[in-house]
Structure 1
Amino acid sequence: MNWIRHKSRSVFFKIFLSFLAIILLFGLFYMVIFQLFKNSFQKEIIDTNQRAIHDTTERFTNQFSRLQVLMFDIYNQSNLIGFNNQLRHQAGYNVNYLKAREVMIQMRSDIYNPLFFLEDTLIYFREHNFVLSKSGSSDASYMFNRSYTSPMYPYSFWNSYEGEQESFTLLPADTYQISNELTEKKLMPYVYRQPDSPYEVIGLIDIDKAAQSFFGESDDRAFAILNAKGKVLYALGSLNQEELPSFEAGQKAVLKDGTYYLMETGAEGLTYVSAVPYSHVSSQLNRLTGGLLLIFCLSLGVALAASYFFSRRLHKPVKQILTTVLNRASNSPVPDTGSITEYDLIQNRIQELFREKEEIRDRMNKHKSVLTSYSYISQLKSINMDISEWEDFLSDDGSFIVVLYHIRFRMNPVYELPLHTDQAVRHMLEHIHLITAERYPGSHTFQIEKNEIVSIFKREEATHLEELLQEIRDVLNEEKELFLVTIAISSQVSDSSEFNQAYHQVKGLTAQAQLLEESQIVTKQRVLPTTVNLSPSQEKGLLDALQAGSEDRCLQIIDQALEAMQRKEAGIAQFRFFADSVAAKIMGYLEMAQIDKNALHSLKQWSTRIAECHCLSDYQGVFRQLIEASCALIRKKKDTGEEPLIAMFMKIIHNQYAEDLSLDYLSAKLNLSSAYLSVYIKEKTGLNFSDHLLGIRMNKAKELLACTDLTVNEISQRVGYLNITSFNRTFKKAAGMTPGAYRRQHVVQTHASSS
């Protein structure tokens, strides 16, 4: 019992007991919180899925509202109305098909808008068996039996389709075979047709993409859209008409056959149903329970181990102090006991330690310690005397010359460097110092940067300096397979205050050095080539080759440019500038082509290796790796559809037609030259930049004249014309009549068609 009572008063026991009490308290608190959380977690999962179907319903409702506005605008386009009137009242060869082309151009801008999730928009002239689409016009039977083929919606269906009483009708989704893309997609037709109308607008919605965007992707959840009659229009996942339960009035969640069915009704009368298996809910609950229990057990184990560890660590130093004190004063009287045994013993010995300290201090004040004196002398001797020599050197009135050794380690050495680069530079420093100090004792050599060594010579001593540097260069050239050194010599400097100027001078000389595969000496500035960029034809050829994924052609252009710079004896800095510029153009094109970001990140690692290139073969090797990887990504991306440059161009002019757009602005935004961009647009689209911009502005002006009450002056400003005279002249040239006459004609045609 005495042993137990003695141990219970120790530091270790009391600290460890305190830790255990805290662990127990937090463990109980954790268990209570866990039980409460577990009870409410299942309900939270159901509420989360209910909110998800509610959000999905709102998104689809807004999406169908946007499509209704879009289809209404297409249906009432002035060009479409005029084209329909010509079809009805004129012979085929008298019909102005340019109006149909304007309609298709306007449709494309809407179809390519990712917010609408449209695969295509079809304008079906049933009386004339004629269809307009984003890709052109065709016979209706060809369009519905070949271009967009569906078992549910063949040509016979659309030929006999009468529609519902409503203007907008959403039909069930079906799988379409798209001949232009040689792919299959699930599309949902959305039909807008007025009673007794000669044509109808059919929007083909990419419903899978819309559902994945609004509802999300999940392996175990399902989703369905039902019309007002309860018929399934679209289903995502394994969900069919027979599995759906019946919902009572006001009921939004039903558990049937181990599956939660969550329902939400949209404003347009459609019903949206989400099916979540109960196993999905229970699996999340089980994962949470198992994870939290595992965390709790691990936390408990870590807490116990940490408690024992920290208790031992607090106890051990105290025990050591006690051992030391007891060994030094074993005959000291035992102090009164307190609450902790160890601290009581320390308190009993503290006075003795103070007395010993006072005795030692008195002895030190009375006697000089030989050991202390020796220590002070040793410290004085350790001061670096080279600093004073350097100060004497700079304070001398004589002139001097600065020599810079710029060291560049090869990217792919013939054999492995036996030392680390820092150690190799240090060895070179010692070697150069030995050679220069032996020939010129008054010189100084030191390392100024990670890969730079500087030697300073008195002018009167450096009479044969170039001979010495030739010897050093020959020695360094023996290791040219491992590193290359550029030795630059400054002009004579008359005062130490000009050292910084001399240093920058030799730095500039090293940048002008030629790209040779050997060490070299540079003594003066030279005339460098004026241009170190790709010529316009080379830039066009490089971008064309990149677009085609032709790595051989890309490398041929870059190699020709590098070899030309080599022949012109371009400087090292110019090679670096050229390589960085070409790499930036390549990366810019890949970003414009919307290459995957992870792939771009790996390519940037190659472009950053340009900083490690120190000879022509290094640059050629890095560009080969960069071009091969880039062309592989471009070839992989090439089959995905429209040219990325044209897509970006069309997006800019459709969104910014009202601004002061110019070819120079677009070329700067797309990182291309104006001449190349102009030729590229004409080649790919058949129209030049100004024709595209004029067409968009005139179409928008016609739309505003036909559908709004804005004045002609206001319309001219909205479509990018600050001068109304210029707008009137341009509009009359494009439409054959003034804006006012066009508005009056449209009013007359509208009244005529309605009557």
Structure 2
Amino acid sequence: MNWIKHKSRSLFFKIFLSFLAIIVLFGLFYMMIFQLFKTSLQKEIIDTSQRAVHDTAERFSNQFSRLQVLMFDIYNQSDLIGFHNQLRHQTGNEVNYLKAREVMLQMRSDIYNPLFFLEDTLIYLQEHDFVLSKSGSGDASYMFNRSYASPTYSYSFWSSYEDRLESFTLLPAETYRINNDLSEKKLMPFVYKQPDNRYEVIALIDIDKAAQSFFGDSNDRALAILDADGSVLYNWGSIRHEQLPLFQAGQEAVLQDGTYYFTETGSDGLTYVSAVPYSHVSSQLSRLTGGLLLIFFLSLGVAVAASYLFSRRLHKPVKQILTTVLNRAPFSSMPEPGSITEYDLIQNRIQELFREKEEIRDRMNKHKSVLTSYSYISQLKSINTDISEWEDFLSDDGSFIVVLYHIRFRMNPAYELPLQTDQAVRHMLEHIHLITAERYPGSHTFQIEKNEIISIFKREEAARLEELLADIRGMLNEERELFLVTIAVSSQVSHSSEFNQAYHQVKGLTAQAPLRDESQLVTKQRALPNTVNLSPSQEKGLLDALQSGSDSRSLQIIDQALETLQRKEAGIAQFRFFADSVASKILSYAEMAQIDKSSVQSLKQWSGRLAECHCLAEYSGVFRQLIEAACALIRKKKDTGEEPLIAMFMNIIHNQYADDLSLDYLSAKLNLSSAYLSVYIKEKTGLNFSDHLLGIRMNKAKELLACTDLTVNEISQRVGYLNITSFNRTFKKAVGMTPGAYRRQHVVQTHASG
């Protein structure tokens, strides 16, 4: 017990116990977070599956609504009605079969639209035993028994198909043999037939492709579509009708026989059931649990081992130092220096004390006088209190001036530098320091950044400062083939606390310096050009030149703009801003032209070299390389007739019509000015931006009014109008009637035709 009590008071025991307490605390916190995370993750997996079946139901409902509109339009085509009437009242050559051809041509454009997921659309004129399809027309018996053959939906089925109360009927999906057994597909017939009429439209939906698009392709999930009577219209995966559980009112998820079932009733009245094996959920949790527990125990073991080793490491040098001090061992027996700075300092100080003790002892043995002993004792107690010159300068209350030397090494100098750039800056620092210290001993010169040198002069030294800086400028200008230096001088600063303000002042002066092929001295601020961008006409000319792949015209425009900036004496920072802006426009157009990423990356490397330009000739040279490379790639890509800018514009407004789109937003996204983009769209398409956006929004609004039960307010928000009054006014102006009147008219027409 005494041993334990003694050890518990040691530094090692207390450090190690503290580490263990922290480890246990973090372990408990980790376990609590893990349990919460595991529970929330399981709920999130189930919610994700429920959202998946909800999204699937919504997509299928919208798809069936679109097909209803399509079938209604086909059914009421004037050519089809005229052709049917001719078959009924005329014979032989009197029948104009060109009308049937027009019907088939119209059907093909819809069938080949991938958004409809149609294998074919058949128009069955039952009275004449005649069928129109995408591939032609023919006898109904041949069409249903050979071209699209199914044991369930044979010729006998369709010839005896009776009128239903509903205009649209969705039949269960079956496997069809297509074109004399050349292929097989699972198709779902969707029939539109009005009562007391002798022809019908049969849309054969490629239901597997639609399910793969709407539900996703997954081996561990299944989907079933049930009609209002509970009969299975289609199943995807291993789900069977007899396996489906009974869902209570309001119940959306059921766990039965190791499988989660999720249900959703669509707006079309169909029920969509998704089956996800519980093993799919549990396997994700098991993998997560196993992985996290393994990481936890490994972390725990590493933490305990590291705590023990670190505690020993902290305790061991303390123990050695105490042993040395208590035993009064000579400095030669001190332990080797370790990796802890504070302990090394203590050891070094103890060594110095032992060394000085031995020296004093030796001297006292030789000189027994009290005076000598007192002198040595005074030496032992002496403390070094030297203060650097810089600290002296900062403690001085006098005002001072800051001079900044900003060094810019030339790109591709005429001959190689004799030293590396950092060595060259150090040599320059030494040279400037010698010159300034010789004339002004109270000045201070030091390097503050890798390409910046600072000199600080007191107020009384500033009288002849311009003469000194002019001499330094002349000396630096002799090496302008290698580097250019901008020397900036601050105003007088009254206190050392304002040094940061003075430094930012001279930094700003170097950015305002004009772009010249020589070192220069800047002592005050100057007026700069208000704008350094391309003018609208220059921007249009540049983009037209890039579009045509003309490198000479593109370079001429950029050279003219650079010369204008030079003539206006724009600052160095303004030249850099202009170069980056123009390079960004060139890269943006290259990306819009759909040039491959590796080629665009090579262009970015050229544009990156603009940061190394320090004179007009260098800017012009880099732009020449960038323009020639970009135009070569654009000319190579110019084998397609589609305008990349218009294609990108149409893609944005067709996909984001419900957002708060504006010409300013599009111009920023396409890196163009609003004025130029507006003129370009009008020139290439014949319509301006607002007309395009209005047309897309109104077409979508009419589709939602005709095919959904959404309120007018909901439809207005879906097509991008937050204010229903504005939507009503715009819709009436575009269509000629209010949204409500349009919906009522569509309903009346549908019932009248039915």
Asked if residue 453 in structure 1 is aligned to residue 492 in structure 2, the reply is no
Match of 1:487 in 2: 487
Q: Are the aligned partners of 1:542 and 1:557 in contact in 2 as well (CA < 8 Å)?
A: no
Tell me, what secondary structure is at the counterpart of 2:52? helix
Q: Percent identity?
A: 41
Aligned to 1:644: 648
- The partner residue of 1:379 within 377, 385, 410 is 385
Cα distance 1:703–1:589, how it changes in 2: closer, same or farther (>3 A)?
A: same
Q: Is the 8 A contact 1:221 1:275 kept in 2?
A: yes
Match of 2:144 in 1: none
Q: Is the 8 A contact 1:476 1:519 kept in 2?
A: no
In 2: Cα distance, 1:46 partner to 1:694 partner: 45
SS at match of 1:533: coil
> Number of residues paired by the alignment?
615
- In 1: Cα distance, 2:245 partner to 2:500 partner: 88
Q: Does the Cα contact within 8 Å between 1:432 and 1:472 map onto a contact in 2?
A: no
Which whole-Å deviations, capped at 9, do the CAs of 1:499-540 have from their partners, x for residues lacking one?
Answer: 999988866654344434553456788886675322323323
Displacement of 1:486 in angstroms is 1.9
Is the counterpart of residue 250 in structure 1 residue 246 in structure 2? yes
Cα shift at 1:327: 2.5
Q: Is the Cα contact below 8 Å between 2:403 and 2:455 reproduced in 1?
A: yes
Q: Match for residue 363 of structure 1?
A: none
AA partner of residue 644 (structure 1): M
What does residue 428 of structure 2 align with?
Answer: 428
One-letter amino acid of the structure 2 residue matched with residue 473 of structure 1: L
Q: Secondary structure at the match of 1:534?
A: coil
Paired residues for 1:304-383 under 5 Å = 305-306=305-306, 308-309=308-309, 312-313=312-313, 316=316, 319-320=319-320, 323-324=323-324, 327=327, 370-371=378-379, 374-375=382-383, 378-379=384-385, 382=388
Structure 1 residues 599 and 209: CA distance shift in structure 2, 3 A: farther
Give the Cα separation in 1 of the matches to 2:563 and 2:630: 25
Q: TM-score, normalised by structure 1?
A: 0.56
Residue 551 of structure 2 contacts residue 631 of structure 2 at CA under 8 Å; is this kept in 1? no
CA deviations over 1:580-600 (Å, ceiling 9, x no partner): 433555677799999999999
The residue type equivalent to 1:577 in the other structure is F
In structure 2, give the amino acid aligned to 1:677: L
Instruction: With the length of structure 2 as denominator, give the TM-score of the two structures.
Output: 0.56
SS of match in other structure, 2:243: coil
Structure 2: tracts of 5 or more residues without a match: 84-96, 125-130, 134-157, 176-184, 248-253, 330-372, 714-720
Q: How does 1:390-539 map to 2 (within 5 A)?
A: 404-410=404-410, 418=419, 421=422, 425-438=425-438, 440-441=439-440, 444=443, 446-447=445-446, 450=449, 451-454=452-455, 461=464, 464-465=467-468, 468-477=471-480, 480-481=481-482, 483-488=483-488, 510-516=510-516, 518-521=518-521, 532-539=532-539
Q: Contact (CA 8 Å) 1:603, 1:630: kept in 2 or not? A: no
Deviations 1:373-429 (A, max 9, x none): 742xx42565558628976675xxxxxx976422224567775895574x6545423
Kept in 2, the 8 Å contact 1:168–1:193? The answer is: yes
Q: Work out the CA distance in 2 between the residues paired with 1:230 and 1:687.
A: 51
Is 2:688 the partner of 1:688? Answer: yes
Measured in 2, the distance between the counterparts of 1:691 and 1:44 equals 48
CA offset at residue 718 of structure 1? 4.9
Taking the TM superposition and a 5 Å limit, the aligned residue runs for 1:198-237 are: 215=215, 218=218, 220-228=219-227, 233=234, 235=236
User: Aligned partners of 2:24 and 2:513: how far apart in 1?
Assistant: 74
Separation in structure 1 between the aligned mates of residue 489 and residue 612 of structure 2, nearest angstrom: 24
CA distance in 2 between counterparts of 1:752 and 1:285 reads: 52
Corresponding position of 1:302? 302
Q: Which secondary structure does the structure 2 equivalent of 1:153 belong to?
A: strand
Distance in 2 (CA, whole Å) between partners of 1:495 and 1:248 is 85
Q: 1:153 aligns to what? A: 120
Paired letter, 2:752: S
Cα RMSD, aligned residues only: 7.1
Cα 1:571–1:227 change in 2 (3 A) is same
On the 8 A contact 1:407/1:486 being kept in 2, the answer is: yes
The residue correspondences of 1:75-154 to structure 2 (distance < 5 A) are: 139-140=105-106, 142-143=108-109, 152-153=119-120
2:192–2:202 contact (8 Å) kept in structure 1: yes
Mapped to 2, the partners of 1:389 and 1:308 lie a distance apart of 48
Aligned AA (2:58) = N
The structure-2 alpha-carbon separation of the partners of 1:190 and 1:515, relative to structure 1 and needing over 3 Å to count, comes to farther
Residue segments in structure 1 that go unaligned for 5+ positions in a row: 91-125, 132-136, 176-184, 330-365, 395-400
CA distance in 2, matches of 1:273, 1:472: 82
Partner residue, 1:55? 51
1:630 Cα offset (Å): 12
Could you tell me how far 1:208 is from its partner in structure 2? 5.9
Q: Distance in 2 between matches of 1:389 and 1:559?
A: 53
Q: In the TM superposition, what whole-angstrom CA distance separates every residue of 1:296-341 from its partner, at most 9, and x where no partner exists?
A: 6534642552464256357636744663475259xxxxxxxxxxxx
Instruction: Quote the residue 1:677 is aligned against.
Output: 677
* Distance in structure 2 (CA, Å) of the matches to 1:620 and 1:681: 33
How far residue 470 of structure 1 moved from its aligned partner, in angstroms, is: 4.5
The SS at the match of 1:139 is helix
Q: Which moved more, 1:592-601 or 1:569-578?
A: 592-601
The aligned runs of 1:9-88 (5 Å cut-off) are: 10=7, 52-67=48-63
